[in-house]
Amino acid sequence: MGKLDKFVEVGRVAFIANGKDSGKVCAIAEIIDQNRVLIDGPCSGVRRQVCDMKRLHLTRFCIDLPHSARTAVVRRKWTAAKLDEKWKETSWAKKLESRRLRTNMSDFDRFKLARAKQ
Amino acid sequence: MEPGMDFHQAFQAIDTDHSGEISVEELEDYCKKMNYKDTFVKKWLNLFDEDESGTITYDEYCNTLGLIPKQEVVEKHKVQQTKQAAGGSASGSAVSTTKTTTKTTTKTSVKGSASTSKQGRSRNEALSGTVLMKLSRARMFQRKAIYRLKKKLARSSGKSATAASASKVQLTEKVIGGEKNGGKRLVPDRRSPRSLPTSVPHRYSPPRPTKCFKDHKRRLRASITPGTVLILLAGRHRGKRVVFLRQLSSGLLLVTGPLKFNGCPLRRIAQSYVIATKTQIDISGVSLPERVNDAYFRRAKQLQAKRAKPSSADPFAKPQSAYQLVDERREDQKAVDSQVMTAIRASPDAKMLASYMRSLFSLRNGQKPHEMVF
């Protein structure tokens, strides 16, 4: 049982695990009910939409958002908090990136990697 | 036709000048007189004018209707024609005399006099935009008056046996010996078949003309372009990474090792035995010798040599090695490889690329080819 420090709250930055926008981060703009939230990720290309909590993995980031903040406000707060860089620096994001690179390696890349490891 | 008028009278009514033949003008006049539709003229010509002369002779008329020409009518025509001939009229009448006097009418003489507009005209026409014809087979049979054609041919040639009668079965009387047999029997010259099909078998036309191999469309995977590094999956060079040069006219891919790198020479291989990698070498500057084509690689000669010896003395003797390296192969290999290797050296990561070309491909544990990007 991990630390209970990541809460579902307005402004919580969440990672979308599956669906069309899988792999992107967004902010929770509003909580609808037990299972659903309104998310918005203008800086990461996520449209403002309703999302089921089961699809979201909460990150340790939280931005100061008023509830039901419109997209422009979310964008403003996001860029002010420099969330894009902060996210990229996390080992989570780094792991995702390395996994992506590994799957997209061409045969020649794999050869070069194998050689480099020797 | 007026009621009470018989066919002979009708002919005479239309043939106003009693020349023995109804011309188009006479038909048109009659049509107007009787207030018939314009199609009347066409219909009549279609029906009665067998030799397509443009006129309907009394003979043709009677032929169509199955009548015997009335002698008095014929006499009348003769009289009229002689009058016309005496009067020194056009050649048309001269021809008409030949027509009525002789039963056999030659097409050439008639056609020479008549209008040639009827020649080459089609009685049927295709419906626009389709291959379907306007008139059905039965209708065309009527139109072409094929039922009359047979009779006409029979009469003109003087033969009693037409195609129909030729197929008719002839019965011959055969005497049979023995008592109480009836003595003789009528035997057909041709036996009826043991069984007849209940329905005409449907012959399916070939769906579409099948092309021979040389006319087939050659396709090439989009991932394979000149200069692509390919991984060979089959053959004696399997696992080797080779450079794709071009697709030959047979569809096979022309590849080269280069020979110095991995021992694979200029070779043909089918694209299904190949993985195309994303690695490209710029071989735009490489010019291939023109003689390198499918014929260049064919093995036919060796096969023929083998066939020449049907059975060797020693069945366990190994067959003589078929392939002999020829000088032209060496030349072409050198020419191509030197260019390809320059291209490899010119590319970024040249050293790595060279050692990559030298290495063999294999799958490791955990590697799933369907998930891999090549």
CATH number, domain of B99, equals 1.10.238.10
Share of chain B above pLDDT 70, in %: 80
pLDDT of residue B53: 78
Tell me what the mean pLDDT of segment B105-130 comes to: 65
Is residue B40 classed exposed, middle or buried when 0-12, 13-18 and 19+ CB atoms within 10 A define those classes? middle
Tell me what the mean pLDDT of segment B212-232 comes to: 95
Tell me what the mean pLDDT of segment B202-211 comes to: 80
**Is pLDDT larger for residue B299 or for residue B278?**
B278
Q: Are residues B105 and B172 in the same domain?
A: no
Q: Which of A107, A110, A112 to mutate to test the interface with B (most CBs of B within 10 A)?
A: A107
Structure-block tokens of residue B230 = 């390919």
The C-alpha of B253 sits at a distance from chain A's nearest C-alpha, in angstroms, of 20
Of A103, A105, A111, the CB nearest to B356: A111
3-class DSSP assignment, residue A14:
strand
Chain-centre distance of CA B214, in angstroms?
A: 20
CATH number for the domain that contains residue A35 = 2.30.30.30
Cβ contact, residue pair A115, B352, below 8 Å: yes
- Contact residues, chain B to chain A, C-beta under 8 Å: 229, 231, 241, 275, 277-279, 349, 352-353, 355-356, 359, 361, 371-374
The C-alpha of A14 sits at a distance from chain B's nearest C-alpha, in angstroms, of 28
The answer to whether residue B248 scores a pLDDT higher than 90 is: yes
The answer to whether residue B250 scores a pLDDT higher than 90 is: yes
**Is pLDDT larger for residue B156 or for residue A114?**
A114
pLDDT of residue B97: 46
> Quick check: is A62 in a domain?
yes
**Is pLDDT larger for residue B155 or for residue B232?**
B232
Q: Are residues B106 and B163 in the same domain?
A: no
Tell me what the mean pLDDT of segment A41-48 comes to: 96
How many angstroms separate the CA atoms of A28 and A65, rounded? 9
Cβ contact, residue pair A106, B352, below 8 Å: no
**Is pLDDT larger for residue B318 or for residue B159?**
B318
> Quick check: is B95 in a domain?
yes
Name chain B contacts of A115, Cβ cutoff 8 Å.
352, 355
Structural domain range at position A48:
12-83
Question: How many domains, chain B?
Answer: 3
Please, which pLDDT band fits residue B87 given cuts at 50, 70 and 90? low
Cβ contact, residue pair B229, A107, below 8 Å: yes
The answer to whether residue B109 scores a pLDDT higher than 70 is: no
- Residue B152 Cα distances to B22, B42, B145, angstroms: 20, 22, 10
pLDDT per residue as tens digits for the range A105-114: 999 999 999 9
Is A115 part of the contact surface with chain B (CB cutoff 8 Å)? yes
pLDDT of residue B93: 46
**Is pLDDT larger for residue B285 or for residue B67?**
B285
Find residue B268's DSSP bridge partners.
B254
3-class DSSP assignment, residue B194:
coil
Q: Are residues B293 and B336 in the same domain?
A: yes
Please, which pLDDT band fits residue A24 given cuts at 50, 70 and 90? very high
3-state helix, strand and coil shares in percent for chain A, rounded to the nearest 5: 35, 25, 35
Which is it for strands B184-188 and B171-175: parallel, antiparallel or unpaired? antiparallel
Interface of A with B in 25-64 (CB under 8 A): none
pLDDT of residue B92: 45
Is A111 part of the contact surface with chain B (CB cutoff 8 Å)? yes
Q: Are residues B361 and B250 in the same domain?
A: yes
How many angstroms separate the CA atoms of B72 and B68, rounded? 12
Structural domain range at position B253:
228-297+327-371
Cβ contact, residue pair B231, A107, below 8 Å: yes
> Quick check: is B216 in a domain?
no
pLDDT of residue B42: 81
The answer to whether residue B116 scores a pLDDT higher than 60 is: no
Instruction: Return the axis-axis angle of helices B7-14 and B24-34, rounded to nearest 10°.
Output: 100
Find residue A28's DSSP bridge partners.
A39
Please, which pLDDT band fits residue B200 given cuts at 50, 70 and 90? confident
**Is pLDDT larger for residue B64 or for residue B363?**
B363
Q: Are residues B250 and B289 in the same domain?
A: yes
Question: How many domains, chain A?
Answer: 1
Cβ contact, residue pair A107, B352, below 8 Å: no
The answer to whether residue B365 scores a pLDDT higher than 50 is: yes
How many angstroms separate the CA atoms of B234 and B275, rounded? 11
